[in-house]
Structure 1
Amino acid sequence: MEFKYSNLVLAGVLCISVSAFAVDGGKKPHHPAPPTHPRKFIDSANMDLSIKPGDDFYDYADGNWIKNNPIPAKETRWGSFNTLIQDNTTKLLNLLKEVSTTSAHQPKGSLKQRVGDLYASGMDSLTIEKLGYTPIQPDLKRIDRITSTQGVINEMVYQRVHALGSPLFRFGVGGDDKHPNVNIVGLDQGGTSLPDRDYYLKNDPRTLKIQEAYKNYLISLFTLTGTSAEEAEKNAAIVFDIEKALAKAQLSRVAMRDPNVTYNKFSVVAFSKTTPHLNWVQLLPEMKAPGQDTILVGEPAFFKTADSLVAATPVSDWKVYLKWNILKGSAGSLSSPFVDASFKFSQALSGQKVQAPRTERMSGMVDGSLGELLGQLYVEKYFTPAAKQYMVNLVNNLKTTLGDRIQRLDWMSDETKAHALKKLAAFTVKIGYPDKWQTYDAVIINRGDYIGNLRSVGEWRYNYMVSQLGKPVDKTRWGMTPPTVNAYYNPSNNEIVFPAGILQFPFFDFDADDAVNYGGIGAVIGHEMTHGFDDQGRQYDGDGTLRDWWTKTDADRFKVRADQVVAQYNAFTVLDTIHVNGKLTLGENLADLGGVNIAYEAFKKTKEGQSKDIKIDGFTPDQRFFLSWAQVWRGSQRPEAAAQRILVDPHSPEKYRCNAPISNVDAWYAAFDVQPGDKNYKAPADRIKVW
């Protein structure tokens, strides 16, 4: 979905693995006898034992692994999530190579024909190189014929409806936050190409370097389509100036974290009066959304600026901007000069040294295009019903524990607790893969037409989205594909979702002990549950409605605790001088803190959790729990990627996701004898308690 009203709150890099005794006393599944040399789920060889746990638990637990596992040239970061993603990519490639060898002989429109031929079309580099940029020439020529402001607006609609780009603004269909079972059209700020508005507005050396790289990218793509160097340089300035004007009008990422700020409902007629050159009464039917009397607008002030730009900017400049939208959206799918230019620009943002192999890029393309077709092949081979059922049991255990913790809160009134418990009980849990698969019925895939296939998928996705108008919100749909190594909480559906891809070690392993699994997937489950009660999620009730169910006193008490979390993370830096944005990362930081607390308490209800003397590989159960938590976060990233993530990523850097939450957990101090004077020590009165 193209606009934010889908309200996915992603727990990027965080789901974890749990294989443990159920709280109700259930037993693990039977397994064959262990191998002669049992696997070490916590391996001291990965640790830097020269570091005191209380000084830097992240380096203590992960230091040697990080030293011995440098970032591969094709990656911008490398750690537990990345190794698992790489393993999943290998599995997907095995499936894709197998199915693509026979897909040409499969019935047209069948699952294997479409998946196999889509991959094969992307791997047909000879045809792609031969075509050059001819697949987009009709689009560029169409733009050349524009002669008026109305023609500019018509082209913006055309690109959107035909999935060629999203110039000027973003548009989508999704649930109404205050009526979560009703689909509604919505508008969002957009129109820019750089990852964040700050890249246009700041003037520090790092930002100026990226601006220069972006302008060179613009020049490169225009030049590759036959534009003279002088004209291409002028075009780059035109595009940058338009996008900078749009960036100035955009709200910051922190401001957009408040769902009440971005919930603005208008009648279509009334909103059209605020944007006289963008007549939504006329535009919505042209965008295949007829018959709408109301509209949600994320940032009304942005659209006033955008409307003014439409009138004030020369048509010739808009034509350049519209061509750029075609170019940037297609560059990665055209011949190698376009792909190379696109990658060169991405290097300035991320620091990546070399491109990933084409096979891996095409695997990601198929997963992103026909993910629930490919996902069926993936789960059939790699995800068992037993694993799904085990996760169901584990989630129930964690829900019980979170309920117990809510009832014991000393800062919340009984009235608000009752609402919180009702919301918790109403959680929908999705594990592994959808119960009802998407069929992509209108998507036609031809083995020899890569660009055509991508456009077929894009148009289907748009048409499917607008087809939901007039229908209730389909809450069976997933926001991630089954092979995805991630998890999320969706407040408007009040659901927690765990794709099959993340339910593997170091997150989940049937053969791991309880401590490892609860420190892994248990903390991820607790993390996603806590998202329902973070600074954003807490504003939605049990049926997904955006409404205030808190007493004022309780809301004020929550804010005091949340502000303490903001302050703790604001003090952290990357690259020596760039501070973590505690407000941008607040939701994920609250979820990390809640996740590790909930998982630890649930772990203590297991047989292993209640034993103190039994050690495995030299570590007590409590130590293994926290070491498991730490090894989920092990990894490193390139400086360019680290700087970019501070601006755009709502997750804190891995070191602080590891160290900061446990500095507020009493049990961690006891497990590793952390004492006053240790660098990560916090006095008991200063340890933050929220959920």
Structure 2
Amino acid sequence: MIRSPLLLAASALTLSLPLGACRGEGDDARVEASAAGTSLGIDATALDKSVKPGDDFFAYANGNWVKRTEIPADRSSIGAFLIADQERERNSVQLFDKLLKANPAADTNEGRIANYYRAYLDTAAIDRAGMAPAKADLDAISAIADKRALSAAIGRSIRADVDPLNSTNFNTDHLFGLFVTQGLATPGETLPYILQGGLGMPDREYYLSADAKMAGLRDKYRTYIETVLRAAGNPDPSAAASRVMALETQIARAHSTIAESNDFTKGATVWSRAELEKNAPGIDWPALLDAAQLGGVPRFEAYHNAAIPRLAALVGSQPLDAWKDWLAFHTLNEHGAVLPAPIRDARFAFFGTALAGTPQQRSRDLLALNATSNALQDAVGKAYVAQYFPAENKAAIQSMVSGIKSAFAKRVEALDWMAPTTKAEALKKVETIVVGVGYPDSWRDYSAVQISPTNAYANQSAADAAEYRHQLAKLGKPMNRAEWWMPPQLVNAVNLPVQNALNFPAAILVRPFYDPKADAAYNYGAIGAVIGHEISHSFDNNGAMFDSTGRLRNWWTPADLSRFQQSGKALAAQFDAYSPFPGVNVKGEQTLGENIADVAGLSAAYDAYRASLGGKEAPVIDGFTGDQRFFIAYAQAWADKSREEALRSQIATNGHAPDEYRALTVRNLDAWYKAFDVKPGDKLYLAPEQRVKVW
């Protein structure tokens, strides 16, 4: 995907860019300047021409924008993705205002949207209700008397809230995460994937690292746990918090690493029901699976097959009281945004401020809007695209997709080092990619989802349960290659490896990624590179292991695979050298898939741009050649300014390199050197043989 997992944030708690924007002074200046120069496309006022393009292309393209732009107080970062999302949020505010004034019937999609929004917005009612909405959940946890009941409680809690393949999302409050699609190596068979979970902080390293900053975060997290359990009426919240922290540290030790999680080949293990019970003793699996509505499922994709037995063993070995405290805390943590102020405030103080450096919570009306959009994604999405996504934009993007697919295929055909058998499968894979632009062909049915106008806690639970039922309903059925994994009102894009498909939601098809009034150089450099990026994910270090049917198998000759892996190592080394802070370097292997997609995608977008000119040269506009506009548009699509805490967290846990360094992908393309007269001695200069050309 083009960015780290982007949810329509119900609060400013996501460490990746949360959707739902607050306009900053710098944003207004940029949007207005861009609107005034639509023929040029790029934002000339953002450039810092005192910087040589060959020394720091990010600063050249975005330097003045960075200088004049302040990160909003309720944000951990600001950049091109947030700027695009401002339009999505402004549109959504208008959409919700109109819908609320219409006072729709409760049993309609519009009524569900209105009720969810109103209940979430009403913090006075949430505070008056206190812990009463959570009482049934907490009472059920308190009543757990043995490991069988504990296993059933863990099973009841499981939700479809992870996605290892499409969005590298491994985080869940539940001990196990569930994901449903075709098995990695079982074409035609849809399976439930079981993933590791159970941590409140982003990754195992937050619990195990000796780094002083991580240790400080552990202290703050324990304080947060204690605050939540005190608010819930725990008789000894300090002792309970210590038990939870100790248990989560054990869970962290059981977890696979980020690098292991990102390796699809390690997740391609299928266990029968009997093998699951045999391989992972400690849990009462019949009780867990029955409670999770998976009792009749014969086979499972054991994605984290090394961690699952270790987690199961902890259920069997750790004290029951510790597990009950853990369940109570995570139940409340998951619902923290719709619980009384002491929990809401403490939750933001830790996740928003301590982890991401964001000093101020977003306004409740915007939190309510985005929480509703996330909970009822298709209901909101259907209304959104009807209002804000013109048919001509869909047609224009589809045309660009065709051109970039063709350019990528020509690049494959031109590879002189690739064997004919490998090349044939690669070309077949490009040819058969299913591309969704704007929105899905069919919409989710929410008629069975009961949404209250007064109970925000129950509404969140109902939406989560509805998503879970929707995912379970796919079991036993053929995979739908046209299935969407992102809502239309999301500033992102995604490659779906087992479907051999792409999604480009409507909300990203706006400035600074796409402008129907701008010239081809701008659009191919911005949204064209996004399209190329997603196509290229089918051929990154993980995607290249899937064939045209979406099956994980090695379709490479040994020599071809070795050559491909050598290019990947060179690119990883290039990114390893980038360092935003002393002693903190980008992790080239951890970000390799995204970096391969950037290099290959930008190359294909450039070729498609040149092809769109029909053999002519683009006009010079305001002193910029077409190639210069193309590369500047690309770099401006990665404009970003982040708080230190957020940037450190991204480097530690994310599969995407910081945007500043993604903009430097240009140094691997020969055309960039010619466009900006980059020569030996310039800081970004790479000799031709050092420029990484993956595809």
Q: TM-score, normalised by structure 2?
A: 0.91
Q: Does 1:452 align with 2:450?
A: no
1:689 Cα deviation after fit:
1.1
Q: Does 1:670 align with 2:683?
A: no
Cα distance in 1 for partners of 2:137, 2:274 equals 32
Q: Does 1:63 align with 2:68?
A: no
Amino acid in the other structure paired with 2:601: G
Moved more, 284-293 or 675-684: 284-293
Amino acid in the other structure paired with 1:285: D
Cα distance in 2 for partners of 1:38, 1:586 equals 34
What whole-Å deviation, never above 9, does each CA across 1:192-218 have from its counterpart, x for those lacking one? 111011001101111011111101101
Cα distance in 1 for partners of 2:276, 2:37 equals 69
Amino acid in the other structure paired with 2:693: K
Q: Does 1:631 align with 2:647?
A: no
State the secondary structure of the residue aligned to 1:138: helix
Corresponding residue number in structure 2 for 1:184: 191
8 Å contact 2:134–2:457 — kept in the other structure? no
1:609 Cα deviation after fit:
7.5
Are residues 329 and 176 of structure 1, via their aligned partners in 2, closer, same or farther at CA, if it must alter by over 3 Å?
Answer: same
Corresponding residue number in structure 2 for 1:254: 259
RMSD: 1.9
Corresponding residue number in structure 2 for 1:690: 694
What whole-Å deviation, never above 9, does each CA across 1:25-77 have from its counterpart, x for those lacking one? xxxxxxxxxx9986652233211111111000110110001111110101101
Amino acid in the other structure paired with 2:72: P
Q: Structure 1 vs Structure 2: percent identity of aligned residues?
A: 34
What whole-Å deviation, never above 9, does each CA across 1:468-521 have from its counterpart, x for those lacking one? 222222333211110100000000000011000000111111100111011011
Amino acid in the other structure paired with 1:58: F
Q: Does 1:558 align with 2:564?
A: yes
8 Å contact 1:398–1:602 — kept in the other structure? yes
1:158 Cα deviation after fit:
2.6
State the secondary structure of the residue aligned to 1:436: coil
Moved more, 117-126 or 671-680: 117-126
8 Å contact 1:603–1:609 — kept in the other structure? no
Of 147, 151, 154, 2:152 maps to 154
8 Å contact 2:2–2:530 — kept in the other structure? no
8 Å contact 1:535–1:586 — kept in the other structure? yes
State the secondary structure of the residue aligned to 2:331: helix
1:409 Cα deviation after fit:
1.0
State the secondary structure of the residue aligned to 2:335: helix
Q: Does 1:85 align with 2:79?
A: no
Are residues 38 and 499 of structure 1, via their aligned partners in 2, closer, same or farther at CA, if it must alter by over 3 Å?
Answer: closer
1:226 Cα deviation after fit:
2.7
What whole-Å deviation, never above 9, does each CA across 1:604-624 have from its counterpart, x for those lacking one? 122387316x31121111111
Amino acid in the other structure paired with 2:71: I
Of 285, 301, 304, 1:299 maps to 304
Of 456, 480, 484, 2:486 maps to 480
8 Å contact 1:156–1:166 — kept in the other structure? no
What does residue range 510-529 of structure 1 map to in structure 2 within 5 Å?
510-529=516-535
Are residues 534 and 50 of structure 1, via their aligned partners in 2, closer, same or farther at CA, if it must alter by over 3 Å?
Answer: same
Corresponding residue number in structure 2 for 1:321: 326
Corresponding residue number in structure 1 for 2:226: 219
8 Å contact 1:609–1:622 — kept in the other structure? no
Cα distance in 1 for partners of 2:56, 2:385 equals 39
Corresponding residue number in structure 1 for 2:240: 235
8 Å contact 1:622–1:671 — kept in the other structure? yes
8 Å contact 2:179–2:193 — kept in the other structure? yes
State the secondary structure of the residue aligned to 2:487: coil
8 Å contact 1:436–1:476 — kept in the other structure? no
8 Å contact 1:100–1:119 — kept in the other structure? no
Are residues 486 and 162 of structure 1, via their aligned partners in 2, closer, same or farther at CA, if it must alter by over 3 Å?
Answer: closer
User: Which 5+ residue runs of structure 2 have no aligned equivalent?
Assistant: 7-34, 162-171
Are residues 162 and 402 of structure 1, via their aligned partners in 2, closer, same or farther at CA, if it must alter by over 3 Å?
Answer: closer
Cα distance in 1 for partners of 2:43, 2:36 equals 17
Corresponding residue number in structure 2 for 1:331: 336
State the secondary structure of the residue aligned to 1:84: helix
Amino acid in the other structure paired with 1:187: I
What whole-Å deviation, never above 9, does each CA across 1:519-565 have from its counterpart, x for those lacking one? 01111111111000000000101111111111111001100111001
Are residues 39 and 395 of structure 1, via their aligned partners in 2, closer, same or farther at CA, if it must alter by over 3 Å?
Answer: closer
What does residue range 611-622 of structure 1 map to in structure 2 within 5 Å?
611=617, 614-622=619-627
1:90 Cα deviation after fit:
1.5
8 Å contact 2:434–2:481 — kept in the other structure? no
Of 534, 538, 541, 2:544 maps to 538
1:10 Cα deviation after fit:
5.5
Q: Does 1:491 align with 2:491?
A: no
1:637 Cα deviation after fit:
0.1
Q: Does 1:41 align with 2:47?
A: no
Cα distance in 2 for partners of 1:386, 1:605 equals 21
Are residues 489 and 131 of structure 1, via their aligned partners in 2, closer, same or farther at CA, if it must alter by over 3 Å?
Answer: same
Of 435, 459, 473, 1:429 maps to 435
State the secondary structure of the residue aligned to 1:690: coil
Of 505, 509, 515, 2:511 maps to 505
8 Å contact 2:270–2:301 — kept in the other structure? yes
Amino acid in the other structure paired with 2:188: N
What does residue range 459-474 of structure 1 map to in structure 2 within 5 Å?
459-474=465-480
Cα distance in 2 for partners of 1:38, 1:643 equals 36
What whole-Å deviation, never above 9, does each CA across 1:181-239 have from its counterpart, x for those lacking one? 321122111111110110011011110111111011011111212335xx222112111
1:280 Cα deviation after fit:
3.1
Q: Does 1:274 align with 2:271?
A: no
8 Å contact 1:527–1:596 — kept in the other structure? yes
Corresponding residue number in structure 2 for 1:592: 598
Cα distance in 2 for partners of 1:668, 1:610 equals 18
Cα distance in 2 for partners of 1:501, 1:128 equals 31
Amino acid in the other structure paired with 1:386: E
State the secondary structure of the residue aligned to 2:266: coil
1:174 Cα deviation after fit:
2.4
1:143 Cα deviation after fit:
1.7
Of 199, 203, 220, 2:206 maps to 199
Cα distance in 2 for partners of 1:39, 1:137 equals 59
1:308 Cα deviation after fit:
2.1
Q: TM-score, normalised by structure 1?
A: 0.92
Corresponding residue number in structure 2 for 1:18: none
What whole-Å deviation, never above 9, does each CA across 1:59-110 have from its counterpart, x for those lacking one? 011000111111010110101111111221121111112212223xx33321
Corresponding residue number in structure 2 for 1:680: 684
1:150 Cα deviation after fit:
1.7
Are residues 289 and 522 of structure 1, via their aligned partners in 2, closer, same or farther at CA, if it must alter by over 3 Å?
Answer: same
Cα distance in 1 for partners of 2:575, 2:334 equals 36
Are residues 602 and 439 of structure 1, via their aligned partners in 2, closer, same or farther at CA, if it must alter by over 3 Å?
Answer: same
Corresponding residue number in structure 1 for 2:141: 143
RCO higher in structure (CA 8 A, sep ≥6): 1
8 Å contact 1:169–1:188 — kept in the other structure? yes
Cα distance in 2 for partners of 1:39, 1:353 equals 38
Corresponding residue number in structure 1 for 2:10: none
What whole-Å deviation, never above 9, does each CA across 1:242-269 have from its counterpart, x for those lacking one? 1111111211111122211111112211
Corresponding residue number in structure 1 for 2:407: 401
8 Å contact 2:173–2:334 — kept in the other structure? no
State the secondary structure of the residue aligned to 1:266: strand
1:436 Cα deviation after fit:
0.6
